A and B are shown apart, each in its own frame.
Chain A
Amino acid sequence: MIYLDNAATTQPLYAAALGDEAFFANPSSPHALGIAAERAMAKARQTIADILLCKPKEIIFTSGGTESNNLAIIGYVSALRKANTPPVIFAEPWAHPSVLAPLHHAVERKSASGCVGPRSGWDIPVSGPVMVCLSHVNHETGDLTDIAAITRELKSLNPDAVIFVDGAQGFCKDLNAAEVYKHADVYSFSGHKCHAPAGVGGLVVRGGIKLAPLLYGGGQENAMRSGTENVAGIVRTAYAAQQLHDDLPVNYIHVKNLRDSLAGLVSVIPNATVNTLNQNANNSPYILNLSFPGTKGEVLVHMLSEKGIYMSTGTACKSRKNDKSTLMLMGFPNEITESAVRFGFSHLNTAEEIERTKEALIACVNQLRKIRGYR
Chain B
Amino acid sequence: MDSVNIPDPPKRIFLVKYGEVALRQGNRAFYEKQIMDDIKRRIKDLHDGNIRVYREQGRFLIEDVNGDIDTDTILSRIKNIFGAIAFCAGIKTTERTIEGIREAALGFFRGRICDASFKVDTKRADKRFPLTSNETSAAIGEYLLDNIPGSRVDLHNPSIVLRVEIRNHVYFYVDAVPGEGGLPYGSAGKGVLLLSGGIDSPVAGYLAARRGVGLIPVYFHSPPYVSERVVDKTSDLLKTLGAYTGPLPLRIVPFTETQLYLQENVPPEKLTIMLKRAMLRIASAIAAKEKAHCLITGDAVGQVASQTLHSLAAVNSAASLPILRPLTAMDKHQIIEIAKRIGTYDISIRPYDDCCTLFVAKHPENKPNTQVIERMESRLTEGRLAELISDAVGNTVINM
Contact = CB atoms under 8 A, between A and B. Distances in A.
Same complex origin of A and B: yes
Interface of A: 296, 298-299, 302-303, 305-306, 319-321, 371-373
Interface stretch (B122-130, B179-187, B204-212, B218-226): B218-226
B225 A302 contact: yes
Given A296-B358, A298-B227, 4 more contacts: A298-B353, A320-B351, A372-B358, A373-B268
A302 B260 CA distance: 16
B223 A371 contact: no
B364 to A, nearest CB: 14
A298 B358 CA distance: 10
5 contacts: A296-B358, A298-B353, A305-B224, A372-B358, A373-B268
A298 B351 CA distance: 11
Nearest to B224: A302
A371 B263 contact: yes
B227 A302 contact: yes
B55 to A, nearest CB: 50
Nearest to A318: B351
A297 to B, nearest CB: 10
Interface of B: 223-227, 260, 263, 268, 351, 353, 358-359
Nearest to B225: A299
Contact of B351 (A302, A319, A372): A319
Contacts of A296: 353, 358
A320 B349 CA distance: 9
Nearest to B351: A321
Contacts of B358: 296, 299, 371-372
B347 to A, nearest CB: 14
Nearest to A319: B351
Q: Which 7 A-B pairs have the closest CB atoms?
A: A321-B351, A302-B224, A303-B224, A306-B224, A299-B225, A371-B263, A298-B353
B351 A299 contact: no
A298 B225 CA distance: 8
A371 B259 CA distance: 10
A371 B224 CA distance: 13
Contact of A371 (B226, B227, B353, B359): B359
Nearest to B361: A373
Nearest to A305: B224
A373 B263 CA distance: 10
A299 B224 contact: yes
Contacts of A373: 268
A371 B260 contact: yes
A237 B227 CA distance: 33
A298 B268 CA distance: 21
A87 B225 CA distance: 47
A361 to B, nearest CB: 14
Given A305-B224, A373-B268, A299 B353 contact: yes
Nearest to A322: B351
Nearest to B226: A302
Nearest to B350: A321
Contacts of B224: 299, 302-303, 305-306
Contacts of B353: 296, 298-299
A257 to B, nearest CB: 29
A375 to B, nearest CB: 13
A185 to B, nearest CB: 37
B352 to A, nearest CB: 8
Contacts of B226: 302
A320 B351 CA distance: 6
A222 to B, nearest CB: 41
Nearest to A296: B358
A303 B260 CA distance: 14
Contacts of A303: 224-225
Nearest to B349: A321
A135 to B, nearest CB: 24
B9 to A, nearest CB: 52
A306 B225 contact: no
Residue of A298, A319, A320 with most chain B CB atoms under a 10 A cut-off: A298
A299 B359 CA distance: 11
B259 to A, nearest CB: 9
A298 B357 CA distance: 11
